[in-house]
Protein backbone atom coordinates (compact mmCIF):
# COMPACT_ATOMS: atom_id res chain seq x y z
CA UNK A 1 0.00 0.00 0.00
CA UNK A 2 2.92 2.32 0.60
CA UNK A 3 3.91 2.26 -3.05
CA UNK A 4 0.31 3.03 -4.06
CA UNK A 5 0.28 6.02 -1.72
CA UNK A 6 3.51 7.33 -3.21
CA UNK A 7 2.20 6.88 -6.75
CA UNK A 8 -1.00 8.77 -5.90
CA UNK A 9 0.95 11.61 -4.30
CA UNK A 10 3.17 11.88 -7.38
CA UNK A 11 0.03 11.94 -9.53
CA UNK A 12 -1.43 14.73 -7.37
CA UNK A 13 1.77 16.75 -7.73
CA UNK A 14 1.79 16.23 -11.50
CA UNK A 15 -1.88 17.21 -11.85
CA UNK A 16 -1.22 20.32 -9.76
CA UNK A 17 1.62 21.39 -12.04
CA UNK A 18 -0.42 20.55 -15.14
CA UNK A 19 -3.41 22.51 -13.80
CA UNK A 20 -1.31 25.60 -13.12
CA UNK A 21 0.34 25.34 -16.54
CA UNK A 22 -3.06 24.92 -18.21
CA UNK A 23 -4.45 27.97 -16.43
CA UNK A 24 -1.46 30.08 -17.46
CA UNK A 25 -1.59 28.79 -21.03
CA UNK A 26 -5.30 29.55 -21.44
CA UNK A 27 -4.81 33.01 -19.89
CA UNK A 28 -2.06 33.81 -22.38
CA UNK A 29 -3.80 32.21 -25.37
CA UNK A 30 -7.41 33.36 -24.92
CA UNK A 31 -7.17 36.20 -22.44
CA UNK A 32 -9.09 34.36 -19.69
CA UNK A 33 -8.64 31.22 -17.63
CA UNK A 34 -10.77 28.42 -19.04
CA UNK A 35 -12.86 27.31 -16.03
CA UNK A 36 -13.98 23.80 -17.00
CA UNK A 37 -10.59 22.25 -17.75
CA UNK A 38 -8.98 24.01 -14.79
CA UNK A 39 -11.69 22.77 -12.43
CA UNK A 40 -11.52 19.24 -13.86
CA UNK A 41 -7.78 19.03 -13.27
CA UNK A 42 -8.21 20.48 -9.78
CA UNK A 43 -10.72 17.73 -9.08
CA UNK A 44 -8.14 15.18 -10.27
CA UNK A 45 -5.74 16.53 -7.65
CA UNK A 46 -8.43 16.24 -4.96
CA UNK A 47 -9.33 12.72 -6.09
CA UNK A 48 -5.73 11.51 -5.94
CA UNK A 49 -5.26 13.08 -2.51
CA UNK A 50 -8.50 11.55 -1.19
CA UNK A 51 -7.49 8.06 -2.29
CA UNK A 52 -3.97 8.49 -0.90
CA UNK A 53 -5.41 9.69 2.43
CA UNK A 54 -7.79 6.72 2.57
CA UNK A 55 -5.02 4.24 1.84
CA UNK A 56 -2.76 5.89 4.40
CA UNK A 57 -5.43 5.81 7.11
CA UNK A 58 -6.32 2.20 6.37
CA UNK A 59 -2.62 1.28 6.38
CA UNK A 60 -2.36 2.55 9.94
CA UNK A 61 -5.36 0.48 11.07
CA UNK A 62 -4.51 -2.82 9.39
CA UNK A 63 -1.65 -5.22 9.61
CA UNK A 64 1.32 -4.95 7.28
CA UNK A 65 0.52 -6.37 3.87
CA UNK A 66 2.87 -8.90 2.24
CA UNK A 67 3.77 -6.46 -0.55
CA UNK A 68 4.91 -3.89 2.04
CA UNK A 69 7.41 -6.24 3.66
CA UNK A 70 10.94 -6.65 2.34
CA UNK A 71 10.85 -10.42 2.94
CA UNK A 72 7.37 -10.90 1.42
CA UNK A 73 6.87 -13.54 -1.26
CA UNK A 74 4.31 -13.77 -4.03
CA UNK A 75 2.62 -16.77 -2.46
CA UNK A 76 2.02 -14.85 0.78
CA UNK A 77 -0.86 -13.01 -0.88
CA UNK A 78 -2.49 -16.13 -2.29
CA UNK A 79 -5.91 -17.16 -1.11
CA UNK A 80 -9.55 -16.65 -1.91
CA UNK A 81 -10.19 -13.46 -3.83
CA UNK A 82 -13.97 -13.46 -3.74
CA UNK A 83 -17.11 -15.33 -4.58
CA UNK A 84 -18.45 -15.39 -8.10
CA UNK A 85 -21.91 -16.67 -8.82
CA UNK A 86 -21.93 -19.67 -11.14
CA UNK A 87 -24.79 -19.97 -13.59
CA UNK A 88 -25.94 -16.39 -13.02
CA UNK A 89 -27.59 -14.61 -15.93
CA UNK A 90 -27.81 -11.22 -14.21
CA UNK A 91 -24.37 -9.99 -15.32
CA UNK A 92 -25.35 -10.64 -18.94
CA UNK A 93 -28.60 -8.68 -18.56
CA UNK A 94 -26.80 -5.86 -16.76
CA UNK A 95 -24.06 -5.73 -19.40
CA UNK A 96 -26.58 -5.69 -22.25
CA UNK A 97 -28.58 -2.89 -20.66
CA UNK A 98 -25.38 -0.92 -20.04
CA UNK A 99 -24.40 -1.43 -23.69
CA UNK A 100 -27.78 -0.11 -24.81
CA UNK A 101 -27.47 2.83 -22.42
CA UNK A 102 -24.03 3.74 -23.79
CA UNK A 103 -25.23 3.25 -27.36
CA UNK A 104 -27.87 5.87 -26.62
CA UNK A 105 -25.09 8.47 -26.55
CA UNK A 106 -24.50 7.86 -30.25
CA UNK A 107 -27.98 6.91 -31.45
CA UNK A 108 -30.41 8.90 -29.38
CA UNK A 109 -31.53 9.53 -25.83
CA UNK A 110 -34.73 7.56 -26.33
CA UNK A 111 -32.68 4.32 -26.11
CA UNK A 112 -31.56 5.26 -22.59
CA UNK A 113 -35.14 5.17 -21.38
CA UNK A 114 -35.47 1.66 -22.79
CA UNK A 115 -32.27 0.46 -21.09
CA UNK A 116 -32.98 2.04 -17.69
CA UNK A 117 -35.75 -0.35 -16.55
CA UNK A 118 -33.74 -3.39 -17.63
CA UNK A 119 -30.69 -2.08 -15.74
CA UNK A 120 -32.72 -1.52 -12.58
CA UNK A 121 -34.22 -5.01 -12.79
CA UNK A 122 -30.78 -6.52 -13.41
CA UNK A 123 -29.20 -4.72 -10.44
CA UNK A 124 -32.02 -5.75 -8.12
CA UNK A 125 -31.87 -9.32 -9.39
CA UNK A 126 -28.09 -9.41 -9.02
CA UNK A 127 -28.19 -8.07 -5.46
CA UNK A 128 -30.98 -10.34 -4.25
CA UNK A 129 -29.93 -13.41 -6.22
CA UNK A 130 -29.05 -15.42 -3.12
CA UNK A 131 -32.09 -14.34 -1.11
CA UNK A 132 -34.64 -16.40 -3.00
CA UNK A 133 -35.41 -19.95 -4.07
CA UNK A 134 -32.76 -22.69 -3.87
CA UNK A 135 -29.82 -20.36 -3.12
CA UNK A 136 -31.43 -18.54 -0.17
CA UNK A 137 -29.28 -18.24 2.92
Q: Is the separation of the CB atoms in 93 and 121 below 8 Å?
A: yes
The pLDDT, as a whole number, for residue 59 is: 82
Least confident of 5-14, 57-66, 97-106, 119-128: 57-66
Q: Is the separation of the CB atoms in 7 and 14 below 8 Å?
A: no
Least confident of 48-52, 59-63, 114-118: 59-63
Say what the pTM is.
0.56
State the average pLDDT over residues 61-74.
Answer: 75
pLDDT digits (tens, 9 = 90+) for 5-19: 999 999 999 999 999
Q: Is 109 exposed, middle or buried (0-12, 13-18, 19+ CB in 10 A)?
A: exposed
> Average pLDDT, whole number, for the chain?
88
pLDDT digits (tens, 9 = 90+) for 19-28: 999 999 999 9
Tell me the C-alpha distance between 98 and 102, whole Å: 6
State the average pLDDT over residues 66-89.
Answer: 75
The pLDDT, as a whole number, for residue 137 is: 57
Amino acid sequence: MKSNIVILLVMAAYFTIADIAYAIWTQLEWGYVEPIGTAAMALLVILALFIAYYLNSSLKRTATLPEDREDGNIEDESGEVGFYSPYSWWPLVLGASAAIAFASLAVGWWMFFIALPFAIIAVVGFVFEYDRYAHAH
